[in-house]
Structure 1
């Protein structure tokens, strides 16, 4: 990215025209999975910005609908209104933003990645990791003990894949599992729609049950 393009993006982010998480995801998908080779680098950057602006606007509109639903459910459960400055409202707002972001990205971005392309990439990645494992013999189950150092990129993958509607124990194990998968060169979920995300969630679920923790 050129300095002028970066400055323009930073300015848009400051004015909230673009959700930074959305911009990162559009950039990732449009440069790793859905590459339009007809575009010049400058055109691709402009297209990514334009798509990010559109998706951010969709998320903002949908966020209010999700928040209204969450507030209504809160009131139904607790029987009282939420003060405007109360912490629950802040948490519900963050949850609504995350839910709206995930829904919009799944429908308008991730759904365009061909499942066959994801399966082919995962198969190739797993085959290469298996060849390396025969030489170095790492302990692939070490994630269960949580004895791994979690990288910021891993936390981003976990947030992108499963969001924030999970227990702390689930998130902790998910981070450990994704970290080990990354360190060992194994496939990691491309998006919440990736079948691997559901498979990993089931593995984490079983580990939580094994530890006597709520499997959520």
Structure 2
């Protein structure tokens, strides 16, 4: 007795069928040259609800066609993968939201209203290692209520989504020359506050980590 079951992950529910050979010799032997061998005639069909053997009302090819059509229909309902351009836009938007969280955190820590500071654009960023893991250093432009633009520095955890992901966010002065080994190697234009306060980049890293923010964990978001 041979049991054929199909538990389809495609959402197709197929009743388990038990194939009981009605002519074992026809199934087991190899047909002689010139002899036709009809695979759909070799078995009767049984179900769990009705164990009485009976001939199939459909051929094997018809069953195959039904399954393939159902699989194609299910695959057509899957969301399409985003294009490289769409992935880039999603990455930019995720970074922008992270920097806005950092800016709002700075405003809150300094008893300011969030609308007093407006995020304009990011200039440069770099991922670094430090105490406790990985961090992202960034310089970005902020506009105040007076319309003047100023350059800010932030250190956040990768994929910043919460206030707790913000280590430091502060405006930069013209003479700020804070040191960072990793930004010095890979992002020489990125400025750091002279007063410190950031965790990453204080040690030389032999093999710098890849930018987790550039991974495709958001592909299907």
TM bin (shorter chain): under 0.3
Q: Which has the larger radius of gyration?
A: 2
Q: Which one has a larger percent strand, Structure 1 or Structure 2?
A: 2
